[in-house]
Amino acid sequence: MSPTIAVATRAIRSDDESFLRRVYAGTRLEELAIVPWDDAQKDAFLRMQFDAQHRFYHDQFPDASYEIILRDGEPVGRLYVDRREDEIRIIDIALLPEARGEGIGGKLLSDLIAEAGASNKPIRIHVERYNRAMSLYLRVGFAPIGESDLYFLMEWTPGAHGT
């Protein structure tokens, strides 16, 4: 990340929905590139999937923080975190494709690691098996502690990495 880039977050507002839909669509680009659907079918699919995911997250994690990721004050992603009594659970972290690879995710993880270290809590996140960010999670000290067909449950533990 360039030292001149400022990374911050802010709470999601009611007028962020179209941006959040764009972020979600950006997470499905590769997957949708191979299906033989026209743009209208892809848009309908993305709308349905976003709505279902949005409802699920808010139903399952009603006390979580739902935030917009800002780069130099401009929205570039979303960060959903559920701070529980016994852990910090990253529900979702996603960046627009054009904002990936700039160190933004690493900065956000570093901030969460500092918070987790100060509160002596582990951080956990489900990461898709073939997610490009897997190397970042491993590099900052996350380790797999469980798995399913699609996901690894990754954990960062205070004190395990000299922190």
pLDDT by position in tens, the chain (length 163): 455 789 999 999 999 999 999 999 999 988 898 999 999 999 999 999 999 999 999 999 999 999 999 999 999 999 999 999 999 999 999 999 999 999 999 999 999 999 999 999 999 999 998 888 899 999 999 999 999 989 999 999 998 755 4
Instruction: Give the closest residue to 57 by CA, choosing from 46, 67, 45.
Output: 67
What is the total residue count of the chain? Answer: 163
Which domains, ranges and CATH numbers included, belong to the chain?
A: 7-156 (3.40.630.30)
Q: List the structure tokens of 35.
A: 């299906």
Report CA 123 to chain centroid distance, whole Å. 13
Helices (H), 61-158: 104-119, 134-139
